[in-house]
Copies of this chain bind each other. A is one copy, B any other.
């Protein structure tokens, strides 16, 4: 048997996702406030809550993708190990622009918000590119997966997803230079799109697996 089981790599990835999604809460810091005025100080922190909500949804969705997609895999190899590590690297980078977006929304200076949004866009674009890489790699290495039969069907359903989200984030970057709010809207659209794409992937995967015994 020449192949490495995929279990530990999944466990390691789950660990990274779980830690990342949880340490996002460390962005919530007790603000400096005058005695008796905590409420006002907290309400001014709404961007922190908003950015947290968005990034939690984002990382959660990426984890769901990882979870579902890797269920179709049975083995790993050097290439997949490296791609997975690059993907985890890209995802961990989301923590910092989340804090930047929250902070610049609080101070409210347009120039700085633009920088923070574009930073977030670039990381999101990077994440989508690693997904495109993953999909391409696995399609070329059918020996890693459990779905040899109707694989084409499966990839037909999802193969354009990374291209689509890369386009959305690219557009968001351009738009942010004209209007930060249009840019922010496109960024949000991209993240919601991921979630919708996950639902589609999940259904399509289920169809693809319908007649195959998931060996693992």
Contacts and interface: CB of A to CB of B under 8 A. Distances in A.
Q: How large is the interface on A (under 10, 10 to 19, 20 to 34, 35 or more residues)?
A: 35 or more
Interface stretch (A125-133, A164-172, A184-192, A206-214): A206-214
A145 interface: no
Nearest to A13: B18
Interface in A57-85: 60, 63-64, 67-68, 71, 78, 81, 85
B92 A22 contact: yes
Contacts of A12: 14, 17-18, 63, 67
Given A4-B68, A100-B30, A115 B38 contact: yes
A155 interface: no
Interface string A10-32: 11101111111111111010100
Contacts of A85: 60, 64
Given A22-B23, A64-B85, A104 B206 contact: no
Interface in A86-100: 88-89, 92-93, 95-96, 99-100
Q: How many copies of this chain are found per oligomer?
A: 4
A105 interface: no
Nearest to A61: B85
Contacts of A10: 8
Nearest to A18: B15
A156 interface: no
Interface in A1-57: 1-2, 4-5, 8-12, 14-26, 28, 30, 33, 35-39, 42, 53, 56
Contacts of A104: 38
B30 A67 contact: no
B38 A111 contact: yes
A135 interface: no
Given A8-B10, A99-B30, A213 B1 contact: yes
A176 interface: no
Report the 3 A-B pairs with minimum CB-CB distance, sorted nearest first: A15-B18, A38-B112, A28-B96
Given A4-B71, A42-B119, 4 more contacts: A2-B210, A5-B214, A18-B18, A22-B92
